[in-house]
Amino acid sequence: QVTLRESGPALVKPTQTLTLTCTFSGFSLSTSAMCVSWIRQPPGKALEWLALIDWDDDKWYTTSLKTRLTISKDTSKNQVVLTMTNMDPVDTATYYCARYNTLETWAFDYWGQGTLVTVSS
């Protein structure tokens, strides 16, 4: 059974750095074709893809936030970490992590429940 769970602060101040952790089970990021991605959704708005890391430690980022994002993995802990620097109120959103499967679907086939991050002083 594949599960993912996001964790991190619910509230951050403007200019601070956000660190989110995705802890997963039911698959391994050392297995070929497995990837984990971060996606966010501001309140009442659409989904926005942020970043992805694959089994081979290759990383991709959304164009508009590339300079502020870093994604990394700890395969032994089954965790993926996303950091976002210089947080702003417009970054207030629910942040999801999701498994991305390049073996079967080339889609986000399992998602975490999401964690709401509010940026406010």
Asked if 120 interacts with another protein (CB under 8 A), we say no
Asked if 16 interacts with another protein (CB under 8 A), we say no
Torsion, Cα 81 8 86 90, to 10 degrees, reads 120
Q: How far is CA 48 from each of CA 31, 33, 95, rounded to the nearest angstrom?
A: 26, 22, 9
Q: Are 45 and 91 in contact (CB under 8 A)?
A: no
Asked if 46 interacts with another protein (CB under 8 A), we say yes
Answer for which of 68, 71, 96, 117 binds another protein (CB under 8 A) is 96
Asked if 49 interacts with another protein (CB under 8 A), we say yes
Answer for which of 11, 30, 47, 74 binds another protein (CB under 8 A) is 47
Give the H or E element holding residue 70: strand 69-74
Asked if 63 interacts with another protein (CB under 8 A), we say yes
Q: Which is nearer to another protein, 3 or 16 (CB)?
A: 3
Q: Which is nearer to another protein, 16 or 61 (CB)?
A: 61
The two tokens of residue 102 are 């390049």
The two tokens of residue 21 are 């952790």
Q: Are 56 and 75 in contact (CB under 8 A)?
A: no
* Contacts with another protein, residue ranges (CB under 8 A): 37, 39, 46-49, 52, 60-63, 96, 98, 104-109, 111-114
